[in-house]
């Protein structure tokens, strides 16, 4: 053993400290080290993606999809594929469902996935007391019976989207035995799933480190380690990627996206996602006047907003269905026509000198250029005879007002629909019984109501298209644009954009 003097120990310590400080500055290249670092745009409040606020937060689904598997998988183009269920369906009269559970799947602790895990997860999700925000969806099937790898169940309330929800929010299979052993708090401290990556370390508000699952049933994960750094400030995310500290980032200002992707050593992809910007119309004065509603819609130059404010990163839309959604109908148009807007307002006694007045609410900074977009729209409205007062609100207030049907006559919001079904776009945004609809009238309900339980899929989709057409003709909502998600990354990598907006590590590979 070598004796060290006090000075020696101090010197060695100082050298190690200095090394520690400097070591953090050596950029780690994902392609070289097998570690992928993502500067992520959201924090992870909870590891249980089936309950509470986390269950309905689209931003963190990328993390959940890394640790857990969904009942049914979803491809980047929103189409569905086998997940932990290899096959599924209804019986002929759609009074029963059946699901085949994948065999040979292991939980991260090495134990086998069983059909009982799937039944337990579905049953738990359907119990409101567990805190699942969409418990009623999951409760639409029950009386599960396991027969080998097959699960049979009764349809309690027919929901044509139940299998789509199995690839959507809260649609994750959790480990029955482990969860019951460690409890909710224990699960939060060390979660396990069957997904491609396993929990390794977590520092709330700072980072999550995942390790590749060597027993994964699907394609082998491309990286040994994945680090999600929680960097909620867009400027800091830009700095993360530009300094080389992270390999990939997303949701940065479009100006920065254009600048970075043109820079040597970086690349970028931008793709439309299942998230739209829209203006809720509330059925209060002066919006009870159809001319005012339609004038407000025709006066907006959506293409101009996308081009000038969003640098071309957006797709103008005229219904709540984006082009990738099941009920998208390209023939439904509400064109930019300021002359028509003037004429409609004139018919109701309004003009530039005698404008119709109402309030429009908007978030500021929640989505790219949200406030600026509303400012531009208010400017366009002013030119045709609409004087709108802007009120900025927090997203929490928006939810409260919307649930209480107390939104202003016009209110800007964004709406995600990662399964692309019309029930989860037009349906919940326009049906009066939904806590999230703005316009609540019987004529819309009469069109939408029967579609909730429609068992003929072609008829169901045709019905939603008809409802969208009617809503556009009546001006009950103002869809604005489909967002485009910017992702920038080191050129040593390849990123497949995901229309659902989830930047999953499994969609990143070495170039």
Partner 1 sequence: MTASDLLNRLFMAVLTLLGVAVIVFCLLRIVPGDPIAMMISPSATPADIAALRAHYGLDLGLPQQFGIWFMDVLKGNFGTSISQRRDVMELIGERLPATLELAFAALVFGVLAGGVIATLGTLARRTALDPALDFINGLFLAVPDFVWALALVLLLGVFWPVFPLSGRIDPTLSTYFHTDFYLIESLVTLKFAAFGDLIAHMIMPMLALGLPLAAIVVRTLKEALAEAMVQDYVLLARLKGMSPLRLVLQEALRNAVGPTLTLTGVQFTFMIGGTVIVERIFSYPGLGNMAIDAVINRDLPLIQGIVLTFGAIFILVNILVDLIAGWLNPRGAAHG
Question: CA 465, CA 471: separation in Å to the nearest integer?
Answer: 10
Report the nearest approach of partner 1 to the CB of residue 14 (Å). 8
Beta strands 225-230 and 35-40 are: parallel
Report the nearest approach of partner 1 to the CB of residue 27 (Å). 8
Question: CA 389, CA 282: separation in Å to the nearest integer?
Answer: 15
2 scored as a contact of partner 1 (CB under 8 A): no
Considering only residues 144 through 163, tell me which ones interact with partner 1, judged by CB under 8 A.
none
The answer to whether 161 touches 419, Cβ cutoff 8 Å, is yes
Q: Which is nearer to partner 1, 54 or 319 (CB)?
A: 54
Chosen residue from 32, 180, 400, 473 binding partner 1 by CB under 8 A: 400
- Residue carrying structure tokens 């005229």: 318
Considering only residues 435 through 454, tell me which ones interact with partner 1, judged by CB under 8 A.
435-436
The answer to whether 502 touches 38, Cβ cutoff 8 Å, is no
Question: CA 362, CA 373: separation in Å to the nearest integer?
Answer: 9
Q: How many residues touch partner 1 (CB under 8 A)?
A: 80
Chosen residue from 230, 325, 413, 483 binding partner 1 by CB under 8 A: 230
399 scored as a contact of partner 1 (CB under 8 A): yes
Q: How is residue 179 written in tokens?
A: 């969860």
- Where does this chain touch partner 1 (CB under 8 A) — which range of 20-28, 67-75, 462-470, 472-480? 20-28
- Where does this chain touch partner 1 (CB under 8 A) — which range of 105-113, 197-205, 304-312, 458-466? 197-205
184 scored as a contact of partner 1 (CB under 8 A): yes
Q: Which is nearer to partner 1, 191 or 409 (CB)?
A: 191
8 scored as a contact of partner 1 (CB under 8 A): no
Report the nearest approach of partner 1 to the CB of residue 21 (Å). 4
Question: CA 118, CA 452: separation in Å to the nearest integer?
Answer: 26
Q: Which is nearer to partner 1, 51 or 300 (CB)?
A: 51
424 scored as a contact of partner 1 (CB under 8 A): yes
Q: Which is nearer to partner 1, 19 or 111 (CB)?
A: 19
Q: Which is nearer to partner 1, 7 or 25 (CB)?
A: 25
Considering only residues 45 through 74, tell me which ones interact with partner 1, judged by CB under 8 A.
45-46, 48, 51-56
Query: 466-470 — which CB contacts under 8 Å span 24+ positions?
Result: 467/422, 467/426, 467/430, 468/319, 468/320, 468/321, 468/327, 468/329, 468/332, 468/422, 468/426, 469/319, 469/329, 469/332, 470/443, 470/444
Q: Which is nearer to partner 1, 21 or 458 (CB)?
A: 21
Chosen residue from 156, 201, 262, 511 binding partner 1 by CB under 8 A: 201
506 scored as a contact of partner 1 (CB under 8 A): no
The answer to whether 133 touches 52, Cβ cutoff 8 Å, is yes
Name the β-bridge partners of 87: 100
465 scored as a contact of partner 1 (CB under 8 A): no
Considering only residues 76 through 135, tell me which ones interact with partner 1, judged by CB under 8 A.
128-129, 131, 133-135
Chosen residue from 17, 87, 262, 347 binding partner 1 by CB under 8 A: 17
Q: Kindly compute the dihedral angle of the four CA atoms of residues 15, 18, 19, 24, in this order, to the nearest 10 degrees.
A: 170
Q: What share of the chain is helix, strand, coil (3-state, %, to 5)?
A: 35, 25, 40
Q: Which is nearer to partner 1, 329 or 421 (CB)?
A: 421
| CB atoms closer than 10 angstroms to residue 36 | 28
Q: How is residue 472 written in tokens?
A: 């556009």
Report the nearest approach of partner 1 to the CB of residue 242 (Å). 5
Chosen residue from 146, 158, 177, 188 binding partner 1 by CB under 8 A: 188
Picking from 371, 339, 344, the residue whose alpha carbon sits closest to that of residue 286 is 344
Chosen residue from 231, 373, 408, 502 binding partner 1 by CB under 8 A: 231
- Where does this chain touch partner 1 (CB under 8 A) — which range of 87-95, 143-151, 376-384, 423-431? 423-431
Q: Which residues are CB-contacts of 258 (< 8 A; sequence separation ≥ 6)?
A: 311
Q: How is residue 281 written in tokens?
A: 């119309």
Q: Which is nearer to partner 1, 350 or 431 (CB)?
A: 431
């Amino acid at each position: 053993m070598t004796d060290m003097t006090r000075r020696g120990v101090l010197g060695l310590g100082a050298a190690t400290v200095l090394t520690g400080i400097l070591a953090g500055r050596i950029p780690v290249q994902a392609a070289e080290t097998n570690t992928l670092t993502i500067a992520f745009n959201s924090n992870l409040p909870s590891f249980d993606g089936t309950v509470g606020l986390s269950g309905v937060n689209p931003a963190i689904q990328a993390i959940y999809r890394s640790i857990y598997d969904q009942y049914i998988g979803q491809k980047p183009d929103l189409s569905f594929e086998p997940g932990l269920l290899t096959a599924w369906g209804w019986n002929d009269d759609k009074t029963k469902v059946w699901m085949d559970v994948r065999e040979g799947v292991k939980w991260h602790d090495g134990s086998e996935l069983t059909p009982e895990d799937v039944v337990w997860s579905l049953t738990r999700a359907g119990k409101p007391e567990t805190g699942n925000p969409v418990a009623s969806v999951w409760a639409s099937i029950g009386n599960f019976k396991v027969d080998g790898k097959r699960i049979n169940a009764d349809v309690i309330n027919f929901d044509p989207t139940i299998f789509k929800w199995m690839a959507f929010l809260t649609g994750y299979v959790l480990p029955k035995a482990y969860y019951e052993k460690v409890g909710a708090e224990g699960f939060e401290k060390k979660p396990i799933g069957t997904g491609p990556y396993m929990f390794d370390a977590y520092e709330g508000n700072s980072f999550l480190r995942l390790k590749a699952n060597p027993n994964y049933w699907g394609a082998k994960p491309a990286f040994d380690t994945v680090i999600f750094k929680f960097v909620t400030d867009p400027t800091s995310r830009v700095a993360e990627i530009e300094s080389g500290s992270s390999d990939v980032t997303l949701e940065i200002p479009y100006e920065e996206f254009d600048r970075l992707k043109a820079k040597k050593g970086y690349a970028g992809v931008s793709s439309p996602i299942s998230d739209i910007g829209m203006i809720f119309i509330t059925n209060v004065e002066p919006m009870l006047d159809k001319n005012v509603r339609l004038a407000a819609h025709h006066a907006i130059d959506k293409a101009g907003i996308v081009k000038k404010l969003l640098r071309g990163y957006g797709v103008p839309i005229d219904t709540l269905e984006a082009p990738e959604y099941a009920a998208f109908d390209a023939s439904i148009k509400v064109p930019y026509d300021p002359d028509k807007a003037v004429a409609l307002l004139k018919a109701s006694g309004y003009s530039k000198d005698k404008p119709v007045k109402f309030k429009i609410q908007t978030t500021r900074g929640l989505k790219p250029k949200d406030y600026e977009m509303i400012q531009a729209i208010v400017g366009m409205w002013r030119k045709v005879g609409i004087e709108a007062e802007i009120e900025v609100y927090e997203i929490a207030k928006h939810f409260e007002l919307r649930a209480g049907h107390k939104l202003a006559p016009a209110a800007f919001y964004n709406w995600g629909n990662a399964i692309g079904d019309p029930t989860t776009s037009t349906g919940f945004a326009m049906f009066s019984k939904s806590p999230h609809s703005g316009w609540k009238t019987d004529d819309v309900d009469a069109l939408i109501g029967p579609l909730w339980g429609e068992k003929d899929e072609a008829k169901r989709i045709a019905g939603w298209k008809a409802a969208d057409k009617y809503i556009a003709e009546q001006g009950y909502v103002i869809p604005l644009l489909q967002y485009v998600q910017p992702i920038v990354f080191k050129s040593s990598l390849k990123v497949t954009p995901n229309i659902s907006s989830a930047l999953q590590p499994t969609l990143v590979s070495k170039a």
